[in-house]
């Protein structure tokens, strides 16, 4: 039955969005779309609502009146059951071909909906489908089924073979996916990097400037990096793992390097026995890595059970697999100082290790040596897990952030301010810690793509590359230009104003960020080389070594694709592009096709000094006429096409999209303009639009600097003047002088026989007429000034008299 087929697809769509606590709120026939292959698509989520928790209810009165549920009409709170009511109205409309509730005005319609009385359905339809409609149109929301309950009901299974329909939907979607792939052609510019150098730099721990690790070149190019309290880890393109130590202050190596001993190797060394490593994360004194198939290996200290194996000793010197994840493949892993969080390929989150301050999000402060599954409020799809020193962040696919653990200094971002209209002190609700994962509400207004957690502060980047910081600002690590305490979330400005942040990382009292313009900025505590440079304004803060504004430390030669900071260390992957080739779609320059021999030579101005204010603006190059007669070959481009005045005076499309301007390249006087080799036909409507953007010039049917006979040469003929669009009506001016219309000069000149003497004589007459016009205009302006002054004096006298 066709209605059952449509009903199954629509209910399945509602079931999917409801499991993520989304209420559509505008289910109606106009928002249910049908493809050519009989697939149903649910659209128009413009007024949909995302509920924070299962128990939350919505209250806003929105939707289409004919499909509103009684609770919305009455102004009561409601949940996803309103979508089921609206779906019942849609199915009723399919069966009866009329609205479920009808009225002549909205007030009457609201009464009919609350009353709940509707017409009967034609008996030709089965009792099962009629029962389903009545079930969805129950006045009490609690009596209505959820989408999941409706699909599982016996009444529905009797009218539809769910497994068969599910298979059919999958087949139709597979076909549409293939068609989209075949019909989609990329036409955007794609840079193909032919050669590049990938380098690894580290600083901090006494190293004031970035130090290069020479081992990571060619086949050992770095792909991903991590840093702990005193050790570093790098995953190469060959999926090999390298680790080394930077021991300061007598820190002990307990196996976190994975080399089978406790030696502190100061140079990067390959970890033997590990293959196909794709991801690594470092804790205080332990290391975990993920292999190709989602298997997890661990080594180092197991004091808090961070290695995920209950029977292991206090320290493991070589990599060992974590048995729990042999059947639960991991997609991403993150280590805090003494705890771990893992995101599996099934979208589940597991935490283990030290549970102090509730950092595991398991509802207590207990320690766990075996991975524990995390329960989160509502249905969420997670894409990233991030561990801080004593807290954990979860980032959902829709940009929401959940957190658990210590909120000291508001480093998890939970604290919120309350202020009203009255002049009262702003209250801040300080939340010390969270034992379970909760939504960070101050960040819900943004779509967060990444989060970095430091010791006492955190940073977040939204979908548009804006950087936000929160937590302690003792050393200016929030980057807001001061060292004061900030109670909420701060937007970082300064050198990052207008920049798009790609990656951010936080250490102990400092922050490092890279932008899409291939620069790296750092700010905060500069002690022991944390910032990677010494700035002129760094002698500030409580230790006289801090900077409270972002300062660049890497130039634009490098593209920084990965950053990692911990304690006082930072490590980055910097890519330097040596050679690249750009593949782009064909771009047509705006030009006219014209078969007439009209042509023009564009002399370029003489080279100007670099410090000239007009060097890049092309000022002084407005003369489009040649001082010499035009020869037969003048004005021809490299492709052999003549240059029309419109082409010569118009920038190419490539220049408009950021290519180097001609003024940025060396020029010489008298050089002829060239046109790109591409030549495409411009539609007539586009020609008309482009004509409106440029000063009109004589067409090719008119004479442009006529080729003079050689037997009667004229030296330096006057150029044809180009008149702007002026239409001045001057009182008292003769019709011969009023108005001046566009192109009147050219028409005046070219009405003559074209001989040199007649051209000069005609232009002289026209100049006299223009001088007369100018004189009359000046007199008129003077009269207007006198009138204005007299009116101002009269007004002043009136005001004085009234006063």
Q: Which residues contact 476 (CB under 8 A, 6 or more apart)?
A: 482, 483, 523, 524, 525, 540, 541, 546, 547, 548, 549
Tokens 């561990």, located at residue:
387
Pairing verdict, β 519-525 and 510-515: antiparallel
Nearest CA to 56 out of 382, 439, 443 is that of: 439
Task: Return the DSSP state at 205.
Answer: T
Tokens 């490593």, located at residue:
277
Largest CA distance in the chain: 109
| Rounded CA separation 419/426 (Å) | 5
| Rounded CA separation 425/431 (Å) | 19
Q: Which residues contact 96 (CB under 8 A, 6 or more apart)?
A: 119, 121, 122
Q: Which is the catalytic residue, given 21, 26, 79, 83? A: 26
Residue 154 tokens, joined? 């016996």
| Rounded CA separation 151/141 (Å) | 18
| Rounded CA separation 176/628 (Å) | 65
Tokens 């490539």, located at residue:
654
* Order of strands, sheet of 382-387, starting from the edge strand that comes earlier in the sequence: 382-387, 391-396, 401-406, 433-439
Task: Return the DSSP state at 799.
Answer: H
Burial of 487 (0-12, 13-18, 19+ CB in 10 A): middle
Q: What are phi and psi of 490, to 5 degrees?
A: -110, 140
Nearest CA to 672 out of 598, 601, 619, 606 is that of: 601
Tokens 């069966």, located at residue:
95
In 668-718, alpha helices (H):
684-691
* Order of strands, sheet of 368-373, starting from the edge strand that comes earlier in the sequence: 330-335, 339-344, 349-353, 368-373
Q: Which sign, positive or negative, has the C-alpha torsion 757, 760, 766, 767?
A: negative
| C-beta neighbour count of 123 within 10 angstroms | 8
Q: Are 675 and 643 in contact (CB under 8 A)?
A: yes
Q: Crossing angle, helix 2-18 and helix 162-183, to 10 degrees?
A: 80
Q: Crossing angle, helix 81-96 and helix 2-18, to 10 degrees?
A: 170
User: CA neighbours within 13 Å on the CB side: how many for 67?
Assistant: 23
Verify whether residue 26 is a known catalytic residue: yes
| Rounded CA separation 530/534 (Å) | 10
Q: Which residues contact 97 (CB under 8 A, 6 or more apart)?
A: none
Which residues on neighbouring strands pair with residue 579, listed in sequence order?
195
Q: What are phi and psi of 157, to 5 degrees?
A: -65, -20
Peptide bond into 559 cis (omega under 30): no
Q: What are phi and psi of 461, to 5 degrees?
A: -120, 130
DSSP 114-138: HHT--PPPPTTS-HHHHHHHHHHT-
Pairing verdict, β 368-373 and 448-453: unpaired
Pairing verdict, β 401-406 and 391-396: antiparallel
Residue 391 tokens, joined? 């807290």
| Rounded CA separation 250/269 (Å) | 21
Residue 22 tokens, joined? 């989304």
Residues involved in catalysis: 26
């Amino acid at each position: 039955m066709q209605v059952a087929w449509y009903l199954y697809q629509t209910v399945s769509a509602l079931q999917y969005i409801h499991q993520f606590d989304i209420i559509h709120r505008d289910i109606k026939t106009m928002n249910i779309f049908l493809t050519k292959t009989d697939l149903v698509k649910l659209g128009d989520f413009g007024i949909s609502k995302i509920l924070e928790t299962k128990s939350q209810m919505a209250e806003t009165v929105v939707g289409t009146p004919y499909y509103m549920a009684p609770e919305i009409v009455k102004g009561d709170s409601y949940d996803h059951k309103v979508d089921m009511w609206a779906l019942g109205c849609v199915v009723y409309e399919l069966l009866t071909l009329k609205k479920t509730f009808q009225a002549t005005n909205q007030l009457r319609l609201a009464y009919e909906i609350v009353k709940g009385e509707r017409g009967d359905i034609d008996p030709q339809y089965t009792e099962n489908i009629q029962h389903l409609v009545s079930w969805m149109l129950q006045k009490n929301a609690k009596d209505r089924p959820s989408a999941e309950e409706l699909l599982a009901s016996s009444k529905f299974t009797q009218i539809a073979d769910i497994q068969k329909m599910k298979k059919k939907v999958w087949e139709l979607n597979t076909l549409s996916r293939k068609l989209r792939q075949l019909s989609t052609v990329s036409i955007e510019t794609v840079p193909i990097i032919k050669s590049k150098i990938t380098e690894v730099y580290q600083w901090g721990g006494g190293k004031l400037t970035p130090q290069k690790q020479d081992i990571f070149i060619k086949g050992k190019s770095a792909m991903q990096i991590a840093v702990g309290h005193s050790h570093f880890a790098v995953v190469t393109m060959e999926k090999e793992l390298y680790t080394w130590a930077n021991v300061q202050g007598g820190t002990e190596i307990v196996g976190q390097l994975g080399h089978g001993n406790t030696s502190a190797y100061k140079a990067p060394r390959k970890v033997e026995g590990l293959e196909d490593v794709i991801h690594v994360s470092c804790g205080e004194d332990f290391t975990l890595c993920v292999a190709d198939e989602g298997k997890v290996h661990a080594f180092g200290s197991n004091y808090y059970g961070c290695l995920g194996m209950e029977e292991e000793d206090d320290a493991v010197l070589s990599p060992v697999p974590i048995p729990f994840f042999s059947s639960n493949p991991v997609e991403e892993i993150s280590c805090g100082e003494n705890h771990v969080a893992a995101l599996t390929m099934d979208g589940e989150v597991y935490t283990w290790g030290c549970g102090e301050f509730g950092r595991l999000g398991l509802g207590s402060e207990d320690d766990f040596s075996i991975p524990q599954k995390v329960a989160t409020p509502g249905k969420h799809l997670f894409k990233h897990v991030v561990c801080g020193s004593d807290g954990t962040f979860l980032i959902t696919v829709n940009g929401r952030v959940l957190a658990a653990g210590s909120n000291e200094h508001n480093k998890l971002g939970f604290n919120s301010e309350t202020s009203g209209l009255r002049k009262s002190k702003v209250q801040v609700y300080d939340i010390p810690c969270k034992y379970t994962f909760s939504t960070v509400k101050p960040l819900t207004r943004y779509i967060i793509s990444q989060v970095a957690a430091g010791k006492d502060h955190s940073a977040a980047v939204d979908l548009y590359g804006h950087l936000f910081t929160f937590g302690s600002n003792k050393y200016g690590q929030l980057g807001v230009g001061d060292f004061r305490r900030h109670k909420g979330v701060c937007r970082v400005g300064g050198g990052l104003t207008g920049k798009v942040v790609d990656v951010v990382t936080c250490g102990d009292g400092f922050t490092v960020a890279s932008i899409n313009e291939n620069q790296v900025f750092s700010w905060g505590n500069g002690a022991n080389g944390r910032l990677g440079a010494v700035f002129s304004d760094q002698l500030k803060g409580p230790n006289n070594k801090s900077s409270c504004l972002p300062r660049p430390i890497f130039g634009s030669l490098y593209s920084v694709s990965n950053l990692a900071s911990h304690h006082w260390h930072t490590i980055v992957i910097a890519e330097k592009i040596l050679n690249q080739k750009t593949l782009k779609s064909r771009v047509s320059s705006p030009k006219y096709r014209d078969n007439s021999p009209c042509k023009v030579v564009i002399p370029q101005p003489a080279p100007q000094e670099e410090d000239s204010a007009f060097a890049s603006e092309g000022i002084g190059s407005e003369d489009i006429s040649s001082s010499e007669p035009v020869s037969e070959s003048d004005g021809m481009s490299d492709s052999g096409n003549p240059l029309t005045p419109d082409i010569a005076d118009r920038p190419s499309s490539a220049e408009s999209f950021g290519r180097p301007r001609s003024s940025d390249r060396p020029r010489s006087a008298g050089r002829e303009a060239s046109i790109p080799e591409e030549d495409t036909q411009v539609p007539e409507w586009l020609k008309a639009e482009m004509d409106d953007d440029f000063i009109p010039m004589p067409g090719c049917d008119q004479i442009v600097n006529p080729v003079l006979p050689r037997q009667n040469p004229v030296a330096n003929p006057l150029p044809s003047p180009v008149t702007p669009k002026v239409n001045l009506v001057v009182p008292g001016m003769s019709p011969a002088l009023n108005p001046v219309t566009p192109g009147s000069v050219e028409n005046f000149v070219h009405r003559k026989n074209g001989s040199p003497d007649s051209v000069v004589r005609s232009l002289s007459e026209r100049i006299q007429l223009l001088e007369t016009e100018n004189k009359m205009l000046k007199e008129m302006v003077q009269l207007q000034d006198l009138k204005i002054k007299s009116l101002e004096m009269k007004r002043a006298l009136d005001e004085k008299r009234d006063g």
